[in-house]
Amino acid sequence: GENVEQHPSTLSVQEGDSAVIKCTYSDSASNYFPWYKQELGKRPQLIIDIRSNVGEKKDQRIAVTLNKTAKHFSLHITETQPEDSAVYFCAASEGSGGSYIPTFGRGTSLIVHP
Partner 1 sequence: KAGVTQTPRYLIKTRGQQVTLSCSPISGHRSVSWYQQTPGQGLQFLFEYFSETQRNKGNFPGRFSGRQFSNSRSEMNVSTLELGDSALYLCASKEGKNEQFFGPGTRLTVL
Whole-angstrom Cα distance, residue 62 to residue 27? 25
For residues 17 and 49, which CB has a smaller minimum distance to partner 1 in the complex? 49
Given the complex with partner 1, which of 12 and 45 has the nearer CB atom? 45
* Between 77 and 90, CB nearer to partner 1: 90
Residue 81 and residue 37 in contact, taking contact as beta carbons nearer than 8 Å: no
Among 33, 107, 110, 112, binds partner 1 (CB under 8 A): 107
> Rounded to 10 degrees, what is the CA torsion of 36, 37, 43, 48?
-40
Give, as ranges, the residues between 28 and 47 that touch partner 1 (CB under 8 A).
34, 42-46
CB atoms within 10 A of CB 100: 12
- Residues of this chain that interact with partner 1 (CB under 8 A) are 1, 34, 42-46, 49, 89, 95, 97-107
